[in-house]
Amino acid sequence: MKIEEQILKRMKRAEPGTLFFPEQFRDLGESTAIRKAFQRLSQNGKITRVTQGMYVIPKESLLLGKILPGAEEVAEAIAKRDRARIIPTGAQALNLLGLSTQVPMKIVYLTDGAARIVKVGKQTIKFKKAAPKNLTTIGPISSLIIQALKMIGKGKVSEIELNKIIEHLQKEKRKNILHDMQLAPLWIAEIMKMAIKTKE
């Protein structure tokens, strides 16, 4: 069986929309041969290249046709492959929390992995090497809240934003908030404290 056929067979076993890297198929042959096999499969339209060195069999929708993974899924797949930690920052954090409806064209993630820039369609993902302190938050929601509030800025949080932030934090585990408060700037820690009080 040709390398292409083996790759395609393996990719078809996974859920449509699952992202794959050529290095996951090292057992099938030389890395150059595997890369070329991926290129041929992509050129033949059997798989889709999402970004350099990343491929997918897209999900299909009757209304929308082929649905490609978004920048967030791409970032998470890279982090998983590299065993790196990532935290969305700035406009991406605001968007994920529903504090902004604007989809950022430039997405920045803090990481303890390699610093790099990845292009996904019209969007750019930047992995920015961060100090370990900025990556030791443990709450998935509270980590996002800290980054979103840094983007909004001290003294610039509107009442609507504040209510939404507290609402989000109430879904976070209390121990996570208490832990992450210690790592946040004082003014952000005060907002997080408000969420704990309303939760009690």
My answer on whether 29 and 46 are in the same domain is yes
My answer on whether 101 and 131 are in the same domain is yes
My answer on whether 87 and 136 are in the same domain is yes
**182 CB-contact burial (10 Å; exposed 0-12 / middle 13-18 / buried 19+):** exposed
CA atoms within 13 A on the CB side of 124: 5
36-75 burial, b at 16+ Cβ within 10 Å, e below that, comes to ebbeebeeeeebeebbeebbbbeeeeeeeeeebbebbbbb
pLDDT over threshold 80, residue 79: yes
Our count of domains for the chain comes to 2
My answer on whether 59 and 79 are in the same domain is no
**20 CB-contact burial (10 Å; exposed 0-12 / middle 13-18 / buried 19+):** buried
My answer on whether 88 and 164 are in the same domain is yes
pLDDT over threshold 70, residue 189: yes
My answer on whether 83 and 148 are in the same domain is yes
Please give the structure tokens belonging to residue 182. Answer: 């210690």
My answer on whether 51 and 137 are in the same domain is no
My answer on whether 81 and 179 are in the same domain is yes
Mean pLDDT over the full length of the chain:
93
Mode of pairing for the β-strands spanning 54-56 and 106-111: unpaired
For the stretch 29-74, pLDDT in tens is 999 999 999 999 999 999 999 999 999 999 998 888 889 999 999 9
Banded model confidence at residue 199, pLDDT cuts 50, 70, 90 = low
Rg (CA), the chain: 20
My answer on whether 154 and 125 are in the same domain is yes
For the stretch 102-120, pLDDT in tens is 889 999 999 999 999 999 9
My answer on whether 75 and 49 are in the same domain is no
My answer on whether 187 and 148 are in the same domain is yes
User: Which H or E element spans position 120?
Assistant: strand 116-120
